[in-house]
Amino acid sequence: MKSLVRCSAVLAMSLALCGCPRSESDTLKMATHVSFPPYELVRNGEIVGVDVEICRAVADRLGLDFSVESMEFDAVLPAVVSGKADIAASGITITDERKRNVAFSEPYASAGLVVLYRKAVPYKSEKQLKAGKIGVQNGTTAEKFMREEIGKEPKCYRTFDDAVAALKADECDFVLEDAAPANAVATKDAELQVSKAITYEEYAVAVRKGSDILLKTVNDVIREAKADGRLARWSAEFSSSAKELGRR
């Protein structure tokens, strides 16, 4: 047991010396925003999901303890930059703007933005995004897409759940969001429906720039989890959990 503790301490120190962030008590701290099944969700009072499993596997590989903290989505990457967290995963899309601040792993999933709408007010074309009131979550690629691609200021909400509530209350016409959470909501709400994807995106894990050992370990874990089927099993497990929680 003592040798394992010493090994963990040596690994943690190696991370620090090589420019990788190190948190107290030899713990790898993960930053996320819990509202994004199957990547993040709360099950039986615990934060779980695909992203959590990836980061936990990284901690295990490095011989470190693991903790996860949920925060506002637009605070997740700043937490890594500031050193408050060592690693961030929250269905984070790789963008050139974000690359200026953090280092991204290899992609572990692909997705796209979709339009969540009420069946009573169907979405038919991109013209409706230019003409209507569009809800998005703060700090997301949906917000960026509306401003840069559509050329329109969206209605920004603190969480995706807040945007969905606004949609159902007729405070906005449509909500733009990633496919996974949008589909999870539409599956459990007969009033809502989801469009086909209107963009293509890739999700990756983020670490502080210069964290070479940590980044290599993340990439190794992602490659192995893809190859041995764990990534697919995690996605199936937590998609099922999200559906079950939605029926309660």
- Helix (H, G, I), strand (E, B), or coil: what is residue 212? helix
Same fold, 2-109+202-247 and 113-199: yes
Say whether domain 113-199 belongs to CATH 3.40.190.10: yes
* 8 A C-beta contact, residue 206 and residue 104: yes
pTM of the model: 0.78
Residue 246: the pLDDT is 57
Residue 16: the pLDDT is 44
CA dihedral (85, 86, 92, 93) in degrees, to 10, reads 130
Cα 111 from Cα 16, distance rounded (Å): 34
Write out residues in the chain with pLDDT < 70, as ranges.
1-25, 245-248
107, 118, 137: which is closest to 200 by C-alpha?
107
Residue 241: the pLDDT is 83
Q: Strands of 21-105 (E only): list them.
A: 27-32, 41-43, 46-48, 65-70, 87-88, 103-104
Residue 25: the pLDDT is 62
CATH superfamily of 2-109+202-247: Periplasmic binding protein-like II (3.40.190.10)
* 8 A C-beta contact, residue 115 and residue 156: no
For the four alpha carbons of 239, 230, 42 and 180, in that order, the dihedral sign comes to: negative
Sequence-distant (≥ 6) Cβ neighbours of residue 83 within 8 angstroms: 21, 208
- Domain borders along the chain are 2-109+202-247, 113-199
Cα 222 from Cα 230, distance rounded (Å): 9
